[in-house]
Chain A
Amino acid sequence: MNIFLRELRTGRRSLLVWALVIAGLNVLIMAVYPSFAADAARLEELMAMLPEGFAKAFGLDRLSMADPLGFYATESYLIVVLFGGIYAAILGASILAKEEDEKTIEYLLALPVTRNGVLTSKVLAIVANLALFNLIVAAATYLSFVGFVTRDYSTATLLLLLAAPFLLYLTFAALCFFLSLFWTRRRAAYSISIGLVVGTYFLNVIALLTEDLRWLGWLSPFKYVDAADIVVEQSLNGLYVLILLATAAVAVAATYLLYGRRDITI
């Protein structure tokens, strides 16, 4: 509990900065939506002229930017999942590794704690931080829909679009939590987390663009929270949710296993 509360305290500034910047961007983008929607016919014309690859990469082959959800899915969603993913990855990569990097781990492990106890506190702190992060972004986005959008849209689908990134964050955070066992230096943790998120994002884009490499998409967490899928299907694919959660669970379980027998030297 002590460690958990401490992590919330130390993480709050970074949480607020990331969440407010992304929430603010979402609000700004949604504020532009009414002027887009007003000229829907010309917009459709313009979109028809986009190169096919470009359209596919942003889901514009299946979505309309005149539609509120289509607009959000193509304009904002990428920012949310990409930067939110980076936030989650950095959080996961640094929350445990920083104790070794800053040589505080011996202090921590000399206290009457168990390693599993330390891990559990850290995992709960990750989940709590990500939940708060997602909540702030989702609330701001929801309110901007209420405020700026006059056209009809499915609230249920919007909520799915707002909830899905949380699953992605959990997965990235868990993967980086595991990877941080191997790279405890803070700088390395940052490069690896950003690399993982951006790398898998492009993996997904390549998979979307190239018929022959479609299978690559399965390796990218982004595939499983694709905004166009959610808007078109009006649901989250159960299998995809399972894949994300299972990946996160396996990564965390592996971390417990390895950390329980890790030699900690500073």
Chain B
Amino acid sequence: MTVPSVPVTRPGAGVPAIETVHLKKYYGKSRGIEDISLRVEQGEIFGFIGPNGAGKSTTIRTLLNFIFPTAGSARVLGHDIVSESREIREKVGYLSGETGYYDELTVDQLVDYTARFYSTDCRRRGAELVDILEIDRKKPIHSLSLGNKRKVSVVLALMHRPRLLILDEPTAGLDPLMQTRLFDVLREENERGTTVFFSSHVLSEVQKLCHRVAIIKEGLILKVEEIEKLRESQLRKVRITFRDERQAVVNLPGAAEEERDGRSVRLLYGGDINDLVRHLAGRELESLWVEEPTLEEVFLHYYEAGGRTGEDSASGRAAAVPTARSGKEER
């Protein structure tokens, strides 16, 4: 099992891009994150996935010192997140779908203003990115569409050639075309040696881009996994309605029956889709749905099957997850 592309090393490499040690954040009594220990190496594209409210943004905001950790510590590119946040900000590009900008400025003005903060001259790179992304540079920010605004965010996050990109739900609200475009840019940046850390609640997104993913739920890292391994166990939600009730049986490795209602069968299928098609070939179907399961369903399936695939866990928690359903699966 190899990571899709070999991480490029740069001078000053060696320290992890991100390293958190039992990071915990509570807002008063409400949980942000419970216990996050993560290590992201330089050169990686690292996906941080979990449902809304799992603590993705909290983790990211702690890394940038927008909020202070309740307990634990973290280093970004070797710098302490609390005492050396200025150094971190110099080397990190941050993008969040929720960030607002000075609305009255034009794209050019905003890029120019941003450039003034960095010690290196990054105006040229900024202008270059504005061109590549085809943003109308004379338009004021407030008149831009969501997609164009996000392009501006990308420019601002990349223009100072950061060593690490931290992106909080970068694709939220973007149409598929823009998403692909964004991923192309990120992949390119990564090939230059930039580490990319990004959060998402859409698994399929993460799969397209990442080398490794961490799955976070309720403030805890459930698992850190290479994406290849996740891909192997790629799950599909399958609903089949047969013509004949007597034929309504699916008996195939990797297929876990969820529900049966007369002629309809609902499955979570983790095997090769071709096997499933061949398996059904001889039978009369009325309809067939194949869809991507929600993240929740993946979690459930994944963790209940965690005993088999969970040897690469960074947090060590996955191994402790009960494997109650694995027997049923192998039926």
Contact = CB atoms under 8 A, between A and B. Distances in A.
B118 A110 contact: no
Contacts of A113: 86, 89, 117
Interface stretch (B90-98, B179-187, B191-199, B230-238): B90-98
> In which size bucket is the chain B interface?
20 to 34
Interface string A242-253: 000000000000
Contacts of B67: 263-265
A237 interface: no
B89 A102 contact: no
Contacts of A107: 99-101, 156
Nearest to B166: A110
Given A104-B101, A104-B102, A263 B66 contact: yes
Interface residues of A, number: 20
Interface in A183-208: none
B118 A261 contact: no
A27 to B, nearest CB: 32
B66 A102 contact: no
Nearest to A110: B94
| Residue of A107, A110, A264, A266 contacting most chain B CB atoms (<10 Å) | A110
B114 interface: yes
Given A102-B100, A104-B101, A110 B27 contact: no
Nearest to B65: A109
B256 interface: no
A114 B64 contact: no
B31 to A, nearest CB: 14
Nearest to B156: A107
B27 A263 contact: yes
Contacts of B100: 102-104, 107, 266
Interface in B50-93: 61, 64-68, 85-87, 89-90, 92-93
B116 interface: yes
Contacts of A102: 100, 103
Interface in A1-50: 2, 6, 10
B27 A111 contact: no
A256 to B, nearest CB: 16
Given A107-B100, A113-B89, A265 B66 contact: yes
The 7 A-B residue pairs with the shortest CB-CB distance in the complex, in nearest-first order: A103-B100, A110-B94, A112-B90, A263-B67, A111-B117, A112-B89, A264-B66
Interface of A: 2, 6, 10, 102-107, 109-114, 261, 263-266
Interface of B: 27, 61, 64-68, 85-87, 89-90, 92-94, 96, 98-104, 113-114, 116-119, 156
24 contacts: A2-B116, A10-B102, A103-B99, A103-B100, A106-B61, A106-B66, A106-B99, A107-B99, A107-B100, A107-B101, A109-B64, A110-B93, A111-B89, A111-B117, A112-B86, A112-B89, A261-B68, A263-B66, A263-B67, A264-B66, A265-B27, A265-B67, A266-B98, A266-B100
